């Protein structure tokens, strides 16, 4: 896969805002930051599809919209199927000589509920068929727009309304589903993780996904002040801590070859830079119940899971 886009930080900053202000997203919403940055990477004509979720319900309340590109709301489970249909329609129009553009960037944005769980069948089918579009998972790790219920992306030990922490149950009892590995197993040309704390890396990866010949998948952590229980000013700080603790390491897989991105590569080369997971957990109210004598063991288990996944990633990246 070749990558041709050349840019400077100033040029990115001066690109038009394709997600307009005035939406109803919460103060400090990580998803809002993610969408603004990803949209800086588009090449020209663009169409976005969005299933039900936090961003859909806050950016397109009839008769208003924050979208400055053509935008389609689809059902919770059909973001990837919708993107696949849009891409196939453009191919058909191009074959018939009815499309004047050389390319149209087709993008699907979806949350963790619409990706890990409800939408995984449509996503798998679109990946298997090889449709040329970028799928962006903005991951706030629960069904936030319907009341903070657990999803397949909710991490071990997290409080949600359907995994409440009590005297017996320490929050969600299972680790999150390894969605990136599931996508990589489909043999698609481009898969990557990103964080809004490392915004240039995020924009570059979004552009790489758009330039890939075939389906591309970008998994971006999107902290949620409401569901994670933290001060809204701390979104970028938490996004950075997730990377520094290796809870959410940054990497990309290009044509089956894994490699670490700069922040995580530095940690791999200097393991002392890797922060303990407790620093990430203590900054969020959804994990506050773990800091009690009866549940301290869960913190050790979370650290074990993080370390194991980090070790396996290093092996994939030949580090």
Rounded CA separation 138/58 (Å) = 15
CATH number at residue 244: 3.40.50.970
- Look at residue 291 and tell me if it is in a domain: yes
- Look at residue 294 and tell me if it is in a domain: yes
pLDDT, tens digit (0-9, with 9 covering 90-100), for 99-145: 888 889 999 999 999 999 999 999 999 999 999 999 999 999 999 99
- Look at residue 1 and tell me if it is in a domain: no
Q: Which domain holds residue 170?
A: 9-316
Query: Using the 8-state DSSP alphabet, how is residue 103 labeled?
Result: -
Rounded CA separation 162/183 (Å) = 27
- Look at residue 278 and tell me if it is in a domain: yes
- Look at residue 122 and tell me if it is in a domain: yes
pLDDT, tens digit (0-9, with 9 covering 90-100), for 200-253: 999 999 999 999 999 999 999 999 999 999 999 999 999 999 999 999 999 999
How many angstroms separate the Cα of 152 from the Cα of each of 111, 146, 177, 230?
A: 11, 15, 6, 22
Number of structural domains found in the chain = 1
- Look at residue 49 and tell me if it is in a domain: yes
- Look at residue 2 and tell me if it is in a domain: no
- Look at residue 287 and tell me if it is in a domain: yes
List, in order, residues 6 or more apart from 204 with CB less than 8 Å away.
5, 41
Query: Using the 8-state DSSP alphabet, how is residue 77 labeled?
Result: T
């Amino acid at each position: 896969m070749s990558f041709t886009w050349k840019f400077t930080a100033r040029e990115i900053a001066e690109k038009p805002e394709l997600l307009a202000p005035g939406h109803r997203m919460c103060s400090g919403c990580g998803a809002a930051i993610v969408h603004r940055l990803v949209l800086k990477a588009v090449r020209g004509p663009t169409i976005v599809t969005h299933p039900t979720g936090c961003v859909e319900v806050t950016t397109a309340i009839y008769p208003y919209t924050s979208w400055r590109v053509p935008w389609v709301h689809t059902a919770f489970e059909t973001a990837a199927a919708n993107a696949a249909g849009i891409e196939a329609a453009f191919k058909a129009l191009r074959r018939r000589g009815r499309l004047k553009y050389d390319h149209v960037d087709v993008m699907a944005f979806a949350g963790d509920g619409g990706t890990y769980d409800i939408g995984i069948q449509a996503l798998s089918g679109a990946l298997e068929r090889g449709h040329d579009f970028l799928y962006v998972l903005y991951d706030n790790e629960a069904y936030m727009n319907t009341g903070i219920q657990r999803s397949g992306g909710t991490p071990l030990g997290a409080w949600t309304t359907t995994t409440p922490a009590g005297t017996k149950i320490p929050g969600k009892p299972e680790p999150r589903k390894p969605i990136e590995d599931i996508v990589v197993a489909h043999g698609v040309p481009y898969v990557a993780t990103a964080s809004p704390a490392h915004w240039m890396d995020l924009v570059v990866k979004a552009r790489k996904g758009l330039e890939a010949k075939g389906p591309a998948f970008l998994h971006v952590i999107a902290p949620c002040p409401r569901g994670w229980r933290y001060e809204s000013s701390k979104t970028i700080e938490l996004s950075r801590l997730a990377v520094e603790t290796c809870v959410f390491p940054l990497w990309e897989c290009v044509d089956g070859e894994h490699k670490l991105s700069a922040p995580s590569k530095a940690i791999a080369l200097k393991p002392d830079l890797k922060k303990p997971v407790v620093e990430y957990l203590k900054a969020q109210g959804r994990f506050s119940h773990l800091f009690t004598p009866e549940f301290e063991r869960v913190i050790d288990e979370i650290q074990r899971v993080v370390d194991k996944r980090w070790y396996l990633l290093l092996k994939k990246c030949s580090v």
